[in-house]
Structures are given as structure tokens and as C-alpha cells.
């Protein structure tokens, strides 16, 4: 039993004969699973490598999705059933150690000392959330009631409790947009794309749960780029009385009663503004993260300055890394929504399939 692929055993030998090509996918988040199931459907033998124990990646931690409050489970469930039903190999708790190119094939050695021969590799290593402690001026993990959008999402789960000091509901809540995005001081010059709409979605969700709360969003620009986003923003104003203030928070400080004093410029009135809030939510951005960087190094794939992986051509070849035969799927390429990740993963499968037909 030296590897999991062999464990599926009796099928393994048949696979080598029956299936067209062997594709190794790194990462089993939504991008990895979607690519894997499409390539399996196309008749290939697929092995998915995952460093964690479970499939599903980051989406496992999300409760509702923008822009229509779809429960995240409605996306992960069908994904997991694809995972169970489709005949591909899964190596959990596994990372890749080396990748060596031999003619048209890749020899991959895993952390479990398994040797895999692949005709193509798909990187679906995803992203990491920005560590808000790096923006010390906002006091995350210093002040009690400064939380991130990730933390808030956990509070939306059935077991979550939306309370602040003395078990009271927060009466006034502020959201800070662009935390760790568009910010050279934290090393991320790019826009993470999804936080604007996440903020609007979470503000509405909070208002539904605590109707008496006053909710403010502090933004630099509101980028409602996709279908139904602008409508949700409008709803936030019209139906939920969310107030939008154009100005980036300069700092937060904690009062003796654990409420927070925040400062921003109300840029539209051109005056400094201060306000006490009971809870501060930091809308953290996306980063390529350690996982993606390490895998890129192992595979010899280049990163952009942002840390996200480089493509051959962002219009026509956004699934092609700069290494022939190594493909990209999902947010290891750029920050993207669940919706866009699924599309990017499907197109990755298509590209891999076409490439294998034409190049082998």
C-alpha cells in the first residue's frame, strides 16, 4: 500500500489502459474538484492532491454567497457528490516534493514518497486571506471587537453568536473595505475584487439579524463589477439603510467599554470624521499565499509581482502557466469569486483536454 492510487487498486491497472491520459491536479477546492470532474468526464484518469484532510478548500468556511445569499453548502454539496461519484484518485494530506519533466511527461514525487507520472498538471492551489494583524492600526487581535469578514461569516453559522461586550448585540457596526488590498504598505497593490460585494452582502446579513443596528461601510471605491452586484448595493441603501461613507479608515482605538473609536475622512464632505462603533469588520483581501508560492517554485512556474501565477496570455490563455503542460485553475491565477472560479476551472479542463490531444 505505498500509495492511495494503488489502493484503488484493481481499477488502477485498468485505468492505465482504458484512460487516455493521466492528469495531476494540485488542490481540491472548488477549482480543483470542478477541473477534476470535467477531465474525468472527458475520459482521463485524474489524481487530485490535497494538503489538507478534506476536499472543498476555503468554501467550507463560508456560510452565504454573494450576490443572492445562496448558502455555500448548495455549491459544496453537489461538488462533493461529484467528488464521491466520479472515479478519480484523491491524495489527502499530501504535498508535492519534486516535479521533473521527462520528455512529454512529468514525474512527481509527493510528501508521502509516492511517485506519479503525469501527462499534464493543473495548479488549483487557491488563495489565502490577508492576515489583518499586519494592519496594526486597525487593531485586529489587539482590540476585542475588531473582526474580519471571515470571522463574521463564522458568526452567521447556526452556532454563531453576534454579541459584543456584556452579551449585548452591537448597536453600531462599521465595515472597512480594502483591508490588505490596494495597499502597498501591506505589500498588496492589487484589488481583491470580491471584498466590495462581500461587504455589502455581510452588511445586509447583519442588518437582517440585528434590525436596530446602524451599519456603515467605509470604502475608497465600490466596485460592483458583476451581474446583480449593483442591484445588491442599491438594496443595501434602499431596503436596509446601510450607510456608505467614502473614506479609508486611518486608525481605530479601543475605548474603556470595549467600543471602538474610528477615524476616517468623509472625503465627499471634505472633513475628518470620527465615530464610536461596537464592532468593526475588516474586509480582508485575497493573497496568493504560501501554498501557491511553494507549489509554483516546485513546478518552476512564474509568479507575478502580486504573487498570483503568471499566464501566457491573460485574454486567450489564462489557463496556461508559463510552463508548457502546467495549467492554472481558479484563484491561484487572480482573486476571483466562486462564480468565476467555477468557470475558470471548466475552461482549464477544456484547455488541458485540447492541449493533450494536440501535443501528445
Residue 234 Cβ, how far from another protein at the closest point, in Å?
A: 23
Q: Is 1 helix (H, G, I), strand (E, B) or coil?
A: coil
- CB nearer another protein, residue 66 or residue 244: 244
Asked if residues 118 and 22 have their Cβ atoms less than 8 Å apart, the reply is yes
From candidates 119, 183, 278, 287, binder to another protein by CB under 8 A: 183
Q: Which range, of 22-30, 59-67, 153-161, 271-279, touches another protein by CB under 8 A?
A: 271-279
Q: Which stretch binds another protein (CB under 8 A): 38-46, 60-68, 193-201, 264-272?
A: 264-272
Q: Which uninterrupted H or E stretch holds 12?
A: helix 10-18
N residues, the chain: 360
Residue 248: CB minimum distance to another protein, A: 4
- Quote the CA–CA distance of 103 and 193 in Å, as a whole number: 39
Which residue, 49 or 245, is less far from another protein as judged by CB? Answer: 245
Which of 111, 255, 267, 276 is in the footprint of another protein by CB under 8 A?
Answer: 267
User: Which one among 49, 79, 204, 264 touches another protein, defined by CB under 8 A?
Assistant: 264
Residue 122 and residue 328 in contact, taking contact as beta carbons nearer than 8 Å: yes
Q: Which of residues 87-106 bind another protein (CB under 8 A)?
A: none
Compute CA distances 92 → 35, 126, 133, whole Å: 17, 16, 30
Q: Does 275 bind another protein (CB under 8 A)?
A: no
| Among residues 266, 294, 298, 343, the one that binds another protein under rule CB under 8 A | 266
Record the cell numbers describing residue 353, joined without a space.
483536454
Distance of CA 90 to the CA centre of its chain: 21
Measure the CA angle with vertex 124, ends 150 and 302; round to 5°.
105
Q: Does 253 contact another protein by CB under 8 A?
A: no
User: Which range touches another protein (CB under 8 A), out of 86-94, 104-112, 141-149, 259-267?
Assistant: 259-267
Closer to another protein by CB, 262 or 295: give it: 262
Stretch that binds another protein, among 44-52, 164-172, 182-190, 330-338 (CB under 8 A): 182-190
Contact between 254 and another protein by CB under 8 A: the answer reads no
171 binds another protein (CB under 8 A): no
Query: Rounded to an integer, what distance in angstroms lies between the CA atom of residue 328 and that of residue 345?
Result: 8
Residue-wise burial string across 73-93, b where 16 or more C-beta atoms lie within 10 A, e elsewhere: bebbeebbebbeeeebbbbee
Question: Interface with another protein includes 273 (CB under 8 A)?
Answer: yes
Per-residue binder mask for another protein (CB under 8 A), 231-250, x = binder: ---------------xxxxx
Which one of 10, 168, 227, 271 is in contact with another protein (CB under 8 A)?
Answer: 271
Which one, 58 or 135, has the nearer CB to another protein?
A: 135
CA dihedral 68, 306, 58, 218 (to 10 degrees): -50
In sequence order, the 6+-apart residues with CB closer than 8 A to the CB of 325 are 101, 104, 106, 119, 120, 121, 355, 359
- Considering only residues 186 to 225 of the shown chain, the ones binding another protein according to CB under 8 A are 220-221
Q: What span, in angstroms and rounded, lies between the C-alpha atoms of 206 and 277?
A: 14
- Considering the complex, what minimum distance in angstroms separates the CB of residue 217 from another protein? 14
- By CB under 8 A, the count of residues binding another protein is 23
Report whether 339 contacts 226 (CB < 8 A): yes
Helices (H), 19-162: 30-41, 73-85, 149-155
Among 178, 200, 242, 296, binds another protein (CB under 8 A): 178
List the interface residues with another protein, window 104-163 (CB under 8 A): 137
Q: By CB under 8 A, is residue 317 in contact with another protein?
A: no
**Distance separating alpha carbons of residues 194 and 202, to the nearest angstrom:** 12
Question: Is 348 strand, coil or helix?
Answer: helix
Of 135 and 201, which has the nearer Cβ to another protein?
A: 135
Backbone φ, ψ for residue 44 (5° rounding):
-100, 160
Residues that bind another protein (CB under 8 A): 137, 178, 182-185, 220-221, 246-251, 263-267, 270-273
Amino acid at each position: 500500500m505505498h500509495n492511495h492510487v494503488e489502493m484503488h487498486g484493481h481499477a488502477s491497472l485498468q485505468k492505465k489502459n482504458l484512460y487516455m491520459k493521466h492528469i495531476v491536479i494540485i488542490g481540491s477546492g472548488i477549482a480543483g474538484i470542478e477541473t477534476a470532474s470535467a477531465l474525468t468526464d472527458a475520459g482521463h484518469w485524474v489524481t487530485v492532491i490535497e494538503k489538507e484532510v478534506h476536499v472543498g478548500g476555503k468554501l467550507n468556511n463560508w456560510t452565504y454567497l454573494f450576490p443572492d445569499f445562496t448558502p455555500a453548502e448548495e455549491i459544496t454539496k453537489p461538488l462533493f457528490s461529484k467528488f464521491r461519484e466520479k472515479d478519480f484518485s484523491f491524495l489527502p494530506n499530501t504535498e508535492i516534493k519534486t516535479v521533473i519533466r521527462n520528455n512529454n511527461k512529468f514525474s512527481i514525487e509527493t510528501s508521502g514518497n509516492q511517485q506519479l507520472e503525469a501527462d499534464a498538471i493543473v495548479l488549483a492551489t487557491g488563495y489565502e486571506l490577508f492576515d489583518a494583524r499586519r494592519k496594526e492600526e486597525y487593531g485586529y487581535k489587539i482590540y476585542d471587537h475588531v473582526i474580519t469578514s471571515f470571522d463574521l461569516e463564522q458568526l452567521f453559522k447556526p452556532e454563531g453568536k453576534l454579541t459584543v461586550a456584556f452579551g449585548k448585540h452591537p448597536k453600531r457596526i462599521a465595515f472597512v473595505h480594502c483591508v490588505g488590498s490596494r495597499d502597498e504598505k501591506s505589500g498588496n497593490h492589487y484589488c481583491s475584487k470580491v471584498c466590495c460585494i462581500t461587504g455589502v452582502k455581510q452588511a445586509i446579513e447583519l442588518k437582517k439579524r440585528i434590525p436596530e443596528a446602524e451599519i456603515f461601510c467605509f470604502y475608497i471605491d465600490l466596485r460592483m463589477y458583476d451581474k446583480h452586484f449593483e442591484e445588491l448595493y442599491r438594496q443595501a441603501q434602499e431596503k436596509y439603510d446601510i450607510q456608505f461613507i467614502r473614506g479609508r479608515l486611518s486608525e481605530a482605538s479601543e475605548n474603556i467599554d470595549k467600543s471602538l473609536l474610528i477615524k476616517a475622512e468623509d472625503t465627499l464632505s471634505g472633513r475628518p470624521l470620527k465615530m464610536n462603533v461596537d464592532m468593526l469588520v475588516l474586509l480582508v483581501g485575497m493573497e496568493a499565499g504560501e501554498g501557491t508560492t511553494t507549489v509554483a517554485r516546485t513546478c518552476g512556474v512564474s509568479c507575478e509581482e502580486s504573487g498570483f501565477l503568471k499566464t501566457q496570455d491573460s485574454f486567450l490563455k489564462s489557463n496556461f502557466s508559463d510552463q508548457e503542460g502546467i495549467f492554472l485553475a481558479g484563484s491561484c491565477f487572480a482573486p476571483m469569486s466562486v462564480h468565476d472560479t467555477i468557470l475558470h476551472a471548466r475552461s482549464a479542463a477544456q484547455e488541458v483536454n485540447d492541449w493533450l490531444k494536440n501535443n501528445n
